[in-house]
Amino acid sequence: MGAMAALGALPAGAGALPPLPTLGVPGVPELKPLTRYEAMRLGPGWSHSCHAMLYAPNPGMLFGRIPLRYAVLMQMRFDGLLGFPGGFVDRRYWSLEDGLNRVLGLGLGCVRLTEADYLCSHLTEGPHRVVAHFYARQLTLEELHTIEISAVHSRDHGLEVMGMVRVPLYTQKDRMGGLPNFLGNSFVGTAKFQLLFALKILNMVPEEKLAEAVAATQKPKKPAIDHAAAAAAKAANELAGPARAGNEFQDSAENQAAAQAAAELAEQPAAVPESQAALEQLAAVPVAEAVAAEQPVQPRADAAAEQAVAEPME
């Protein structure tokens, strides 16, 4: 089913178009919407990017109890950012849809969109003048799976496209698992805004659930517990316990031995240290002899001079 069919038939006249819906999710900056007619009237200084969201109802259950609701395709890009299939379209040579299908053929290989799949256009933020066109096509789950398989064999797989991913549209009981954690990833350009906009406009996720998921990503996360490090620290403490007990016992035994040695030393008569005896013996030697003993042997010519110096003055 085309995106326009999901929104209802739109009048052909540009002036009769109803006001474009806004996202209206707290915490997500709004982009300026414009109609397809207005976008086509922009001057040559504007670039046009076209991207598509392919999705399918999914009756599956995660863990047998969490409804999966829909399968929505996005892709991991070469720069590590999440985005939708598509790219820039040169309006000098291609219509929006022809340019989009050309890019999709490089990344997916087997899908073609039409103007009936057009969903919205927005002016992007930033220094570049870019208008982002967004398309959405509902498929069956089997058709979506076929596209996932063919994407692996496309020309850009492993080059500009690292692989397809599915968006989890549920929120687990911890209020983070599923869509909130997914929204915490890094997205390219307007991809995150386009995802939330499409989920709201196509009634794939209730608006309050989108707001809760966005709000959960803005809360400071608790530091993750490193269970391996905690177990290692616990084991180290358990091993250190006996070692500390052994050290305390050894210290106690050494202290007792030192005390006993001190007591035995106190009972013995005081002995003159060898250094003190050497000093007393040195004091008994005449100073002149001590000096002479320390002086090196001098030549005979100097001996008389030393003797004269050593003799007392009259």
The pLDDT tens digits along the chain (314 residues) read 556 555 544 433 334 456 778 888 988 999 999 999 999 999 888 999 999 999 999 999 999 999 999 999 999 999 999 999 999 999 888 899 999 999 998 888 778 999 999 999 999 877 889 999 999 999 999 999 999 999 999 888 999 999 999 999 999 999 999 999 999 999 999 999 999 999 999 999 999 999 999 999 987 655 556 666 667 777 777 666 555 555 554 555 566 665 576 556 555 554 444 445 544 554 444 444 444 444 444 444 444 444 443 444 43
Task: Give 261's DSSP letter.
Answer: H
Q: Residue 279: what pLDDT?
A: 42
Q: Residue 232: what pLDDT?
A: 72
At 209-232, the pLDDT tens digits run 999 999 999 876 555 566 666 677
Query: Which residues have C-beta within 8 Å of that of residue 203, sequence separation ≥ 6?
Result: none
CA distances from 248 to 126, 154, 224, 262 (A): 68, 71, 37, 21
- CATH number for 32-169: choose from 3.30.1330.90, 3.90.79.10, 3.40.50.970, 3.30.470.10: 3.90.79.10
Token reading at 288:
């002149």
At 46-70, the pLDDT tens digits run 999 999 999 999 999 999 999 999 9
Counting other chains too, the contacts that 219-226 makes at CB distance below 8 Å and 24 or more residues apart are none
Distance CA 97, CA 91 (A): 10
Whose tokens are 């009634």? That residue is: 203
> What are the boundaries of each domain within the chain?
32-169
The secondary structure of 79-118 as a DSSP string is: TS-EE-SEEEE-TTT--HHHHHHHHHHHHTSS----GGGE
Of 5, 102, 86, nearest to 50 (Cα)?
86
User: Length of the chain in residues, anyone?
Assistant: 314
Distance CA 199, CA 118 (A): 15
Query: Which residues have C-beta within 8 Å of that of residue 3, sequence separation ≥ 6?
Result: 116, 117, 118, 119, 135, 136, 137, 202
Strand partners, 87: 50
Distance CA 283, CA 61 (A): 104
End-to-end CA distance of the chain: 136
* Helix/strand/coil for 252: helix
Distance CA 229, CA 237 (A): 12
Side chain identity at residue 150, one-letter code:
S
Q: Residue 255: what pLDDT?
A: 61
